[in-house]
Chain A
Amino acid sequence: MKKSNKIFKSIVILFLTFLYAPALLLPIFSFNNSKVIAFPLTGFSTIWFEELFYENTLHNALLNSLVIAISSTILATILGTLVARASTRYIFYGKKISITFILVPLILPEIILGVCLLTVLIQLGLELNLWSVVLGHTLLITPFSTLIMVSAFNNLDISLEEASLDLGMSSLQTFRIIILPMVSPGLISSLLIGFVISLDEFIIAFFLTGVEPTLPVYIWSQFRFPAKLPSTMALGTILLIVSLILVSLFEYFRRKMELYNN
């Protein structure tokens, strides 16, 4: 038993190495002072990070991505909260099928979502811009928000709400003073995860963005230029650190939500 345990552990560690290897290349080569991404390493340098400061297209792309990520995340969290509240609190006609329908983007390949939305926008003769991407991302993130908010509302004790109503608070007051604070870890989780998904999403943005690139669309365009490679690695390193911070926050609030449960 002991021996097989050790073999098992080494398999797991080997696998973890495989999982980590590509991501580790980002920091390694973004601090390497060579224009080519190859071994042996030639020396330490921060020029690739400095280069990012002078890339105006990058700054525009980043700004576009932030606008899209913030808008679509807030919209999706509002929609997801409404769905989750309806799902956990009321029994009504057509509940199962309509909620399943709202969750469908979870199981559609993203390219299909992109093609569908593009078709409809072209048919309507609408212009492609940042707002078309916001709509696409809202559609994509709403199911994730819904699932997170369903678990947040499930942790909510209904009797607290009833007590507040019995003691004469209006339903709006009850929502603000009782419900909102208790589901806030869920809300924050949903905002964080939605933000990360939107910031990272490429294919829908690629189809719907028109002339304004988002960050992933910008990165995609940089892949064609070998000279831009090291600074793209530097950008990747920054993105990795940012998403690590966001995900750690997500994990923190998720645990907090679980604490409410117990």
Chain B
Amino acid sequence: MYISEQNKRGWRLLGVPFIFAIFLLAVPIATMTALSFWTQDYLTLIKTITFENYKQAWFQPVFQTLFARSLLISITVTFFTILFAFPIAYYISFYGGKRKALWLFLITIPFWTSYLLRMFLWKVILGYNGVLNSFFEWLGVITEPLTFLLYNSNAVVLALVHGWAPFAILPIFVSLEKIDRSLLEASNDLGDNSFNQFFRIILPLSMPGVIGAVLIIFIPCIGDYITPKLVGGPEGLMIANMIQVQFSKANNAPLAAALSVTSLLIVGIIALAFVFLNRKYLKNY
């Protein structure tokens, strides 16, 4: 087929979805960016370009705290999720035998409950009169309900680690499956112990999966609204909660837009830097 014919047929198929994405993705992002440079006086927009919203978003302590906390929570969640997910993926890949598919299915089952309900369940579990406290009281382990369980950043981290675990297990599992087992035999034959084998062969070769998992978890976590709202309390709120408040109650859409653009920049820069730093592991991808 001639190149021009390929071009024509390709674009004939891609045209509609591409125009759809332009109108629902490019135009909205552009509008939001424009809005972030405007100001709002009650209900009327003042369309003079100003950096006032960014000055607030970047330099007011309340927003700085929220950005810092969102980042810290997302990084902690990503770290612990991968720390837990790796042994599971490793076990399934190396010891799963014929039942690998069954193991993977078992791991994903709990995650088909709605995300909203799963996060809410953590509130029910950790609450003052919650499942955990009432269970321990029933057993007689404690006499007073424990109050440090709910409404802080740790509760948010716990709920998010639980919520995102399968998204880490699956990509790590896929990259572990791709490791040529004869490399391990060779290293065994040449006298490598299992510690060296892990750090010199298995971990480097599974890095593409780990990098994928980091991106899959880190990006949505930083913008999570539900979890901090349900289990975070005032000390565990994150940037998404502030964006929503600015948009609705505070009636300051331009500031909300500036906060959104800033989050997007932070996420983008960190994701790109992370991929760049780990580029040697991604050569073959």
Segment touching A, from B12-20, B55-63, B179-187: B12-20
Task: Mark interface residues in A152-186 (1 if CB within 8 Å of B CB, else 0).
Answer: 00000000000000000000000000000000000
Q: Which residue of B lies closest to A19 (CB)?
A: B110
Q: Complex: how many Å from CA A116 to CA B260?
A: 9
Are A111 and B87 in contact, CB atoms less than 8 angstroms apart? no
Question: Which residue from A19, A38, A112, A138 sits with its C-beta under 8 Å from B162?
Answer: A19
Chain B residues whose CB sits within 8 angstroms of the CB of A25 once the complex forms: 121, 124-125, 131
Contact B263 A202 (CB under 8 A): no
Q: Which A residues are CB-close (under 8 A) to B32?
A: 115-116, 119-120
Is B13's CB under 8 angstroms from A117's CB?
no
In the bound assembly, the distance between CA atoms of A92 and B18 in angstroms comes to 14
Selected A-B contacts with CB under 8 Å, 12 pairs: A29-B124, A38-B131, A79-B20, A90-B10, A91-B6, A102-B21, A111-B225, A115-B32, A116-B260, A117-B28, A246-B112, A247-B109
The reply to whether A101 and B21 contact each other, CB–CB distance below 8 Å, is yes
Assess A115 versus B247: contact at CB under 8 Å? Given A102-B17, A109-B223.
Answer: yes
Cβ of A66 to closest chain B Cβ, rounded Å: 15
Residues of A within 8 Å of B116, CB to CB, are: 200, 202, 216, 219-220
Q: In the complex, A200→B14 CA distance in Å?
A: 28
Chain B facing A: main interface SS: helix
> A82-B13, A112-B223 in contact; A202/B21 too (CB < 8 A)?
no
Residues A12 and B88 in contact, CB atoms below 8 Å apart: yes
A102 in contact with B95 (CB, 8 Å): no
Pairwise interchain contact A112-B260, C-beta atoms closer than 8 A: yes
Give 1 or 0 for each of B210-231: 1 = CB within 8 Å of chain A CB: 0000010001101111100010
Bound CA–CA A16/B87 (angstroms):
12
Within the complex, which residue of A15, A16, A122, A219 is in contact with B114, where a contact is CB–CB below 8 Å? Answer: A219
Q: What are the 9 A-B residue pairs with the smallest beta carbon separation, nearest first?
A: A109-B223, A92-B10, A38-B134, A90-B10, A116-B28, A86-B13, A243-B112, A23-B110, A22-B121
- Selected contact of B25 from candidates A39, A105, A202, A232, CB within 8 Å: A105
State the Cβ distance, B270 to closest chain A Cβ, in Å.
12
In whole angstroms, how far apart are the Cα atoms of A40 and B257 in the complex? 48
8 A Cβ contacts from A92-123 to B = 92-93, 95, 98-99, 101-102, 104-105, 107-112, 115-120, 122-123
Q: How far is the CB of B141 from chain A (nearest CB, A)?
A: 12
Task: Compute how far the CA of A86 lies from the CA of B14 in the bound complex, rounded to whole angstroms.
Answer: 6
A140 to B24, CA, bound (A): 10
Question: How long is the Cα–Cα vector from A186 to B48 in the complex, in angstroms?
Answer: 50
**Is A5 an interface position by the 8 A CB rule?**
yes
- A82 contacts across to B, CB distance below 8 A: 13-14, 16-17
The A-contacting residues of B in range 69-102, CB under 8 angstroms, are 84, 87-88, 90-92, 95
B107 within 8 A of A: yes
CB-defined contacts of B225 to chain A, threshold 8 Å: 111, 203
Instruction: Give complex CA distance A187, B114 in Å.
Output: 23
B172 CB-CB contact with A under 8 Å = no
**Interface bits A238-262 vs B (CB < 8 Å: 1, else 0):** 0110011011000100000000000
The CA of A119 and the CA of B253, in the complex, are separated in Å by 8
Q: Is the CB of B114 within 8 A of A22?
A: no
Let me know if A148 is at the binding interface, CB within 8 A.
no
* Chain B: interface size category: 35 or more
Interface centre among A5, A86, A247 (most CB of B within 10 A): A86
* Chain A CB within 8 A of B29 CB: yes
Given the complex, which residues of B lie within 8 Å of A37, measured CB to CB?
124, 130-131
Q: Are B223 and A111 in contact (CB under 8 A)?
A: yes
| B14 A99 Cβ-Cβ under 8 A | yes
Q: Which of A23, A79, A80, A112 contacts B118 (CB 8 A)?
A: A23
Q: Is A20 an interface residue (CB 8 A)?
A: yes
Report B114 CB to chain A, min CB distance, Å: 5
Q: Assess the B220–A110 pair: CB atoms within 8 A.
A: yes
Interface residues of B in 129-148 (CB under 8 A from A): 129-131, 133-135, 138
Given contacts A19-B166, A243-B112, 17 further A-B contacts (CB under 8 A): A38-B131, A89-B13, A95-B14, A108-B264, A109-B222, A111-B243, A111-B260, A119-B32, A119-B253, A136-B24, A139-B21, A142-B20, A142-B21, A202-B114, A202-B115, A202-B226, A203-B225
